[in-house]
């Protein structure tokens, strides 16, 4: 076979295998451009031709979907004339036959939506049911949309209970899908008070558990509407709604204002809902409104909330107590602290409750009451350490707050005295070590080392202080806190500790890194002038008052009276070693005649 013949044969083969593919893409491109210009009839004919030449099922389905879109144009499914609707339906059936995987899922959805919009609810429901098995193999958001459509077909067929269940599944897939939430609550409203109230609180629970707090707030507000008195008389759902209100508020960083707005209608609604709901709501109200909560670690918060028995409920209440405390902080810090204590008593693992309480207590004027509370808090600390042994970050913060309180009082103490800064900073350091060991991306806290360094220095443990300061400097360098790193190295020097050769090599490495990150800046002319003046003043043989100093770009000009007693050499040699000085010029002025 000669070369020319081979080339022709290859070209023929190539054209056989590629021409339809090229033709397909050209037709699709022409169809898209026509569609872009609103020429949907032309676009439809191009896409239809593309369907005919498509070589793969995927291409065929892709072109079919484009063809359907062009056929529909700016008409809705319901608004299509019968002829166009027939063409669209035939195309969907073809797509359903050819499509696989995600395209099959889309074909099921879009065809069933078409049927639903055309009023053929039964067939739509059947197609949706055929395709719903694939919901597990698509994204949660896509599955949610499919299920929403499916539920609508069920609802339009009058099957309200299955529709509600499917809407619920849609919300489980994507709790942000507002149409599903709206449709589900619309069905709930149709169910009437007895059945509807239970379903409504179950849906609210789903929204809260999926962190849809805004949507949950909307639905709680609706449920508390005074017009829904009959619904609120359903005792079990009403009691659950009060519980869910606490859970919603506990999860919500922005709840404070809304809680205050919703509490009165909650109390009013709960009054309709039987004793359990009423009691729960009243206790919740007390958390917000009582001004006589005991400011004592010896009180028993469980007595304040007898209708909130489970640990999970008490944890929610604990968070709610923190929000209430924050609300009380400005008006009455004592009652704010009382709420932090309640929060801690309800959930001893809520270390932050003690952290905030300690921080508030520190702001109070000294008094025997304050000292007594402080003592109780130290005891509480050890209980918290047992209850929240793994919450290293919160325990670290608590030790830091307590450490700073003892530091302010000058109680450096010892590593074994819990009522001392040394113990608290040492404990904070150990919590930090545990935090770093348990979490790869633990925050960088050089201050923990710095404070422990200060404690060691105060209690005479210079080598340990030196090490902590150097560690603080190193950590500061990792987060580019250059000035803080410099300060830590100065503090290491200030301990007076003489490091070993190995330690000296280590600190030199730190210093080298510091210089690399932050080379020292040459002094400014003003700084040089200041330094020069100080050197002249310090020199025993020079009368600095007789000399004027000027500096320009490192060149120092000294102007002296001829009568001055000092020599030029003495002046120059005093000034020249100053950092930043490149040249010294001495001008001697003749005395006035």
CB 396 within 8 Å of CB 435: yes
Q: Does residue 110 interact with another protein by CB under 8 A?
A: yes
> Angle formed by the axes of helices 392-408 and 368-387, to 10°?
160
Alpha helices in 118-228 (DSSP H): 121-131, 140-156, 160-173, 178-191, 193-209, 213-223
Shortest gap between Cβ of 92 and another protein (angstroms)? 11
Shortest gap between Cβ of 156 and another protein (angstroms)? 9
Residue 297: half-sphere exposure toward Cβ, Cα within 13 Å: 21
State the Cα–Cα distance between residues 285 and 376, nearest whole angstrom. 27
User: Interaction with another protein in 258-317: which residues (CB under 8 A)?
Assistant: none
Is the CB of 472 or the CB of 532 nearer to another protein? 472
Binding another protein (rule: CB under 8 A), the pick from 104, 181, 404, 495 is 404
CB 535 within 8 Å of CB 574: yes
Binding another protein (rule: CB under 8 A), the pick from 21, 23, 39, 89 is 39
Is the CB of 114 or the CB of 297 nearer to another protein? 114
Q: Which listed range, 220-228, 411-419, 445-453, 553-561, lies at the site for another protein (CB under 8 A)?
A: 445-453
Is the CB of 239 or the CB of 352 nearer to another protein? 352
User: Interaction with another protein in 311-370: which residues (CB under 8 A)?
Assistant: 329, 352, 355-356, 358-360, 362-363
Is the CB of 49 or the CB of 70 nearer to another protein? 70
Is the CB of 261 or the CB of 563 nearer to another protein? 261
Is the CB of 42 or the CB of 566 nearer to another protein? 42
Q: Does residue 476 interact with another protein by CB under 8 A?
A: yes
Q: Tokens for 29, please give them.
A: 């491109």
Binding another protein (rule: CB under 8 A), the pick from 1, 3, 16, 36 is 36
Q: Which listed range, 11-19, 139-147, 288-296, 462-470, lies at the site for another protein (CB under 8 A)?
A: 139-147
Binding another protein (rule: CB under 8 A), the pick from 125, 212, 350, 467 is 212
Is the CB of 314 or the CB of 491 nearer to another protein? 491
Torsions phi, psi for 533 (to 5 deg): -60, -45
Is the CB of 10 or the CB of 41 nearer to another protein? 41
Q: 């209850």: which residue's tokens?
A: 387
User: Interaction with another protein in 145-174: which residues (CB under 8 A)?
Assistant: 145-146, 148-149, 152-153
User: Interaction with another protein in 554-593: which residues (CB under 8 A)?
Assistant: none
3-state SS track over 508-542:
HHHHHHHHHHCCCCCCCHHHHHHHHHHHHHHCCCC
Is the CB of 280 or the CB of 339 nearer to another protein? 339
Q: Tokens for 469, please give them.
A: 């300061």
User: Interaction with another protein in 72-101: which residues (CB under 8 A)?
Assistant: 73-76, 79
User: Interaction with another protein in 215-234: which residues (CB under 8 A)?
Assistant: none
Shortest gap between Cβ of 142 and another protein (angstroms)? 4
Q: Does residue 117 interact with another protein by CB under 8 A?
A: yes
CB 445 within 8 Å of CB 472: no
Is the CB of 231 or the CB of 248 nearer to another protein? 248
CB 153 within 8 Å of CB 116: yes
Shortest gap between Cβ of 32 and another protein (angstroms)? 5
Query: C-alpha distances in angstroms, 38 versus 28, 34, 229, 261, 303?
Result: 15, 6, 54, 52, 72
Count of residues of this chain found to bind another protein when the rule CB under 8 A is applied: 72
Q: Which is nearest to 314 in space by CA: 277, 289, 280, 337? A: 280
Q: Tokens for 498, please give them.
A: 């003489």
Shortest gap between Cβ of 105 and another protein (angstroms)? 8
Is the CB of 75 or the CB of 285 nearer to another protein? 75
What's the start-to-end Cα distance of the chain, in Å? 118
State the Cα–Cα distance between residues 89 and 96, nearest whole angstrom. 10
Q: Which listed range, 38-46, 87-95, 285-293, 497-505, lies at the site for another protein (CB under 8 A)?
A: 38-46
Q: Which listed range, 112-120, 279-287, 370-378, 581-589, lies at the site for another protein (CB under 8 A)?
A: 112-120
Q: 């005991």: which residue's tokens?
A: 294
Shortest gap between Cβ of 110 and another protein (angstroms)? 5
Q: Which is nearest to 300 in space by CA: 268, 363, 344? A: 344
Q: Does residue 400 interact with another protein by CB under 8 A?
A: yes
The alpha carbons of the chain give a radius of gyration, in whole angstroms, of: 39
Across 452-488, b (16+ Cβ under 10 Å) vs e yields bbbbbbbbebbebbbbbbbbbbbbbbeeebeebbbbb
State the Cα–Cα distance between residues 161 and 382, nearest whole angstrom. 53
State the Cα–Cα distance between residues 560 and 572, nearest whole angstrom. 12
Q: Please tell me what DSSP assigns to residue 583.
A: E
Is the CB of 115 or the CB of 244 nearer to another protein? 115
> Angle formed by the axes of helices 235-251 and 256-272, to 10°?
170
Q: 């360094």: which residue's tokens?
A: 453
Q: Does residue 441 interact with another protein by CB under 8 A?
A: no
State the Cα–Cα distance between residues 553 and 418, nearest whole angstrom. 57
Is the CB of 272 or the CB of 335 nearer to another protein? 335
Shortest gap between Cβ of 480 and another protein (angstroms)? 6
- 480 to 519: interface string for another protein, x by CB under 8 A: xxxxx-----------------------------------
- What is the bridge-based pairing of β-strands 555-561 and 547-552? antiparallel
Q: Which listed range, 11-19, 199-207, 437-445, 565-573, lies at the site for another protein (CB under 8 A)?
A: 437-445
């Amino acid at each position: 076979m000669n070369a020319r013949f081979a080339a022709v044969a290859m070209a023929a083969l190539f054209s056989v295998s590629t021409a339809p593919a090229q033709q397909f893409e050209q037709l699709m491109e022409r169809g898209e451009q026509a569609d872009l210009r609103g020429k949907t009839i032309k676009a439809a004919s191009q896409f239809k031709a593309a369907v005919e030449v498509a070589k793969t099922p995927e291409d065929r389905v892709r072109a079919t979907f484009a063809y359907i879109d062009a056929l529909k144009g700016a008409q809705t499914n319901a608004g299509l004339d019968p002829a166009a609707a027939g063409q669209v339906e035939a195309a969907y059936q073809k797509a359903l036959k050819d499509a696989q995987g995600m395209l099959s899922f889309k074909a099921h959805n879009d065809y069933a939506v078409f049927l639903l919009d055309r009023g053929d609810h039964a067939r739509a429901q059947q197609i949706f049911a055929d395709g719903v098995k694939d919901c597990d193999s698509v994204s949660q958001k896509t599955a949610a949309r499919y299920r929403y459509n499916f539920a609508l077909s069920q609802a339009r067929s009058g099957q309200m209970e299955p529709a509600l269940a499917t809407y619920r599944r849609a919300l489980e897939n994507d709790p942000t899908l507002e149409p599903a939430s709206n449709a589900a609550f619309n069905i709930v409203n149709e169910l009437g008070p007895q059945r509807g109230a239970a379903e409504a609180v179950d849906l609210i629970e789903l929204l809260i558990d999926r962190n849809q707090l805004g949507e949950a707030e909307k639905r709680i507000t609706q449920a508390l509407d005074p017009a829904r008195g009959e619904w609120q008389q359903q005792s079990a759902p009403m009691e659950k709604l009060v519980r869910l209100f606490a859970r919603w508020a506990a999860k919500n960083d922005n709840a404070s204002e809304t809680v205050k707005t919703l509490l009165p209608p909650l109390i009013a609604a709960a009054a309709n809902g039987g004793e359990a709901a009423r009691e729960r709501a009243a206790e919740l109200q007390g958390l917000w409104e009582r001004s006589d909560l005991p400011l004592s670690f010896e009180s028993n918060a469980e007595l304040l909330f007898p209708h909130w028995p489970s640990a999970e409920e008490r944890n929610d209440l604990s968070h709610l107590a923190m929000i209430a405390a924050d609300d009380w902080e400005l008006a009455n810090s004592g009652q704010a602290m009382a709420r932090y204590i309640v929060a801690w008593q309800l959930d001893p693992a809520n270390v932050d409750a003690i952290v905030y309480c300690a921080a508030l207590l520190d702001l109070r004027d000294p008094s025997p009451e304050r000292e007594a509370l402080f003592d109780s808090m130290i005891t509480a600390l050890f209980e918290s350490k047992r209850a929240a042994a793994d919450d290293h970050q919160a325990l670290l913060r608590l030790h830091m707050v307590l450490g700073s309180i003892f530091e302010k009082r000058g109680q450096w103490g010892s590593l074994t005295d819990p009522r001392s800064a040394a113990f608290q900073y040492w404990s904070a350091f150990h919590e930090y070590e545990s935090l770093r060991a348990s979490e790869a991306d633990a925050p960088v806290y050089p201050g923990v080392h710095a404070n422990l360094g200060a404690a060691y220095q105060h209690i005479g443990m210079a080598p340990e202080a030196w090490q902590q300061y150097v560690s603080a400097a190193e950590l500061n360098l990792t987060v580019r806190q250059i000035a803080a790193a410099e300060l830590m190295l100065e503090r290491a020097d200030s301990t007076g500790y003489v490091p070993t050769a190995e330690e000296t090599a280590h600190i030199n490495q730190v210093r080298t890194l510091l210089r690399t990150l932050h080379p020292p800046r040459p002094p400014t002319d003003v700084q040089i002038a200041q330094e020069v003046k100080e050197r002249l003043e310090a020199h025993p043989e020079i009368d600095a008052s007789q000399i004027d100093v000027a500096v320009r770009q490192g060149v120092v000009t000294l102007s002296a009276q001829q009568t001055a007693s000092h020599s030029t050499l003495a002046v120059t040699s005093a000034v020249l070693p100053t950092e930043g000085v490149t040249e010294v010029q001495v001008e001697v002025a003749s005395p006035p005649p």
